[in-house]
Chains A and B, each alone.
Chain A
């Protein structure tokens, strides 16, 4: 399993209905994108961090490990805004509003990423996927996604083992060897994936498989107090942003 999914399985909010967490996490993400980055994104990021580290109980170290990946993308993505191309200043020059634009973008992407992480850190895929049918996603697509989810971990594990075996056989010592090893890795993943699918099919056929994957989903009902709290938090964020924008800045 991947670290975020492991954390989601042992989350304090694991038993909560995914719709509640989706409303909270995605609500915060949408707020970060729609509100003015300054001060909106800062307010959203602060509120999200407070929820993540407080009621959701996500360990700070795990959060940082997961957050530094999108943060790296946010920083790299903001750098091009520092420069302008063409015009009287030359082929490439520093954009006059570049630092401010880059800063605003960095705030927005960071806050939005935290919102998605809040949802990901509290909701395992295995809880989310089966419920998508009720949300209107066609059952065959959900079934394919469920199989993908389960086979992905096995494949990632197999790829890790093959990579270790290749390294032990000096498969990463030269550029040519790295290319050969990578090609072998890709081909092995393909063969293993199809082999897994065939074995799974044989096993399911023995259990009367009729084209539908039936899985047990932990029972949970959306909690009204929680949903009201989420609505209040989102409304509070919007109000605080508007007030700060109007009076404090």
Chain B
């Protein structure tokens, strides 16, 4: 869920923009280095960003009977790493604000923080952790997408609770209210996104193993991989 244009008070909008800035700057530096070293990767990165944009336009059925779209942050982070996702996510959110009237410019910082920073980092951390424990690829992918989706919505709830504290119970009451509302829809959606990401990854392993190997997705990094490397 994107926070709509004008939803946040000015101070909050500026503060979330400042919080996102270091991550985006770090991503921009990583992306610039990559492009300078390999000019041809501009096209690959552009294609990756376009894929993220299109992924967020897919409608997925929810267990509650409603319909929503995947955030794509988990899959994006697994495929392209969180620093690059911070930049691609920011551009995607900018396109969504200007081309689809979805999200906003004054709330761009807040949306970037939840969707392009926290979601990808949380999802990627879970993916790497599970892979280092030799968890199967698809299990790691499911939990990465699930956690990325859920953490995005948790951060959005915090952002909304801070902006609109409950008159009686303050930020805590408001946080309970927003997480309660999101839990009804977002828990099933996070499960849905996890399942969809697994299905997409299964097809990608069959059809694009070369690309996944180049992106380092298939490296386990666990004990089995270390033993294999030592044996070589």
Contacts and interface: CB of A to CB of B under 8 A. Distances in A.
B99 A147 contact: no
B20 to A, nearest CB: 15
Interface of B is mostly: helix
Interface string B190-211: 0000011001101110011001
Given A70-B101, A148-B47, 9 more contacts: A69-B100, A105-B7, A112-B6, A116-B97, A120-B101, A141-B87, A186-B75, A186-B199, A189-B54
A32 to B, nearest CB: 6
A47 interface: no
Contact of B4 (A113, A185, A204): A113
> Interface residues of B toward A: which range?
35 or more
> Interface residues of A toward B: which range?
35 or more
A24 B97 CA distance: 17
Interface in A100-158: 101, 105, 108-113, 115-117, 119-120, 125, 138, 140-141, 143-152, 155-156
Counting from the closest, the 3 A-B pairs by CB-CB distance are A147-B46, A112-B6, A211-B39
B146 to A, nearest CB: 16
Nearest to B204: A187
B13 interface: yes
B123 interface: no
Contact of A193 (B47, B105, B168): B47
Interface of B: 2-7, 9-10, 13, 28, 31-32, 35-36, 39-40, 42-51, 53-55, 57-58, 60-61, 75, 87-88, 91-92, 94-95, 97-102, 104-106, 160, 164, 166-169, 173-174, 176-178, 180-181, 195-196, 199-200, 202-204, 207-208, 211
B83 to A, nearest CB: 13
A217 interface: no
A179 interface: yes
12 contacts: A33-B9, A73-B102, A85-B177, A146-B46, A147-B45, A148-B92, A151-B46, A191-B208, A194-B208, A197-B47, A209-B39, A211-B36
A25 B46 CA distance: 28
A183 interface: yes
A183 B199 CA distance: 5
Contact of A194 (B6, B75, B196, B211): B211
Interface of A is mostly: helix
Interface of A: 2, 4-5, 26, 29-30, 32-34, 66-67, 69-70, 73-74, 77, 80-81, 83-89, 95-97, 101, 105, 108-113, 115-117, 119-120, 125, 138, 140-141, 143-152, 155-156, 159, 175, 178-180, 182-187, 189-191, 193-194, 196-198, 200-201, 204-205, 209-211, 213
